[in-house]
């Protein structure tokens, strides 16, 4: 397969424990959907909490190495990272180093979800405390 960016050769290689097609020239990588998911799972494996992968996309001049159709560009999970993908679901193109940005985004998402769940649990405890008889009696006692 040929690189969609520089026409270099895509070669099978192990990258971060995942078999990918990597360009021998520009070092970009072509990931199938399962491989992208495997990369994300390195730091955050809760698929139902990851958020939307693609919301809106625009066509690019680069071609899918599998089918030759134009790749589409999108903001990865609504972040500032722009990736390209094949609409025929052949894969995702990551320029050199973008896999590290994906891991950073997933780490942040994981921390955000941990913080959200902790806040919800704390709020639930607060609400239960407000319903206790002792608290209600104390508040009523303030107005006697």
Any idea where the domains of the chain sit in the sequence? 10-142
pLDDT given at position 115: 77
**Taking the chain, what is the end-to-end CA distance rounded to the nearest angstrom?**
82
pLDDT given at position 95: 97
pLDDT given at position 113: 75
What is the distance between the alpha carbons of residues 33 and 115, in angstroms, rounded to a whole number?
Answer: 28
pLDDT given at position 129: 67
How many other CB atoms sit within 10 Å of the CB of residue 38?
Answer: 17
**Of residues 43, 42, 35, 144, the one with CA closest to residue 90:** 35
pLDDT given at position 142: 72
pLDDT given at position 30: 97
| β partners of residue 57 | 74
How many other CB atoms sit within 10 Å of the CB of residue 23?
Answer: 25
- The pTM for the full model equals 0.75
What is the distance between the alpha carbons of residues 52 and 42, in angstroms, rounded to a whole number?
Answer: 18
What is the distance between the alpha carbons of residues 66 and 114, in angstroms, rounded to a whole number?
Answer: 39
Tens digit of pLDDT per residue, the chain (144 long)?
999 999 999 999 998 889 999 999 999 999 999 999 999 998 877 777 777 788 899 999 999 999 999 999 999 998 899 999 999 999 999 999 999 999 999 888 878 777 777 787 777 777 776 666 666 666 676 776
pLDDT given at position 133: 64
pLDDT given at position 136: 64
Q: What is the 3-state secondary structure (H, E, C) of the chain?
A: CECCCCCCEEEEEEECCEEEEEECCCCCEEECHHHHHHHHCCCCCCHHHCCCCCCCEEEEEEECCCCCCEEEEEEHHHCCCEEEECCCCCCEEECCCHHHHHHHHHHHHHHHHHHHHHHHHHHHHHHHHHCCHHHHHHHHHHCC
């Amino acid at each position: 397969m040929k690189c969609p960016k520089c026409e270099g050769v895509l070669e099978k290689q192990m990258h971060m424990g995942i078999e990918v097609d990597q360009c021998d020239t520009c070092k970009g990588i072509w990931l199938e959907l399962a491989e992208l998911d495997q990369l994300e799972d390195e730091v955050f494996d809760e698929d139902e909490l990851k958020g939307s992968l693609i919301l809106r996309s625009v066509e690019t001049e680069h071609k899918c190495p599998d089918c030759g159709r134009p790749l589409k560009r999108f903001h990865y999970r609504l972040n500032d990272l722009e990736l390209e993908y094949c609409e025929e679901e052949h894969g995702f193109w990551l320029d050199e180093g973008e896999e590290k940005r994906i891991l950073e985004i997933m780490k942040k998402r994981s921390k955000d979800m941990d913080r959200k769940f902790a806040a919800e649990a704390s709020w639930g405890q607060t609400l239960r405390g407000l319903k206790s008889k002792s608290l209600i009696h104390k508040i009523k006692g303030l107005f006697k």
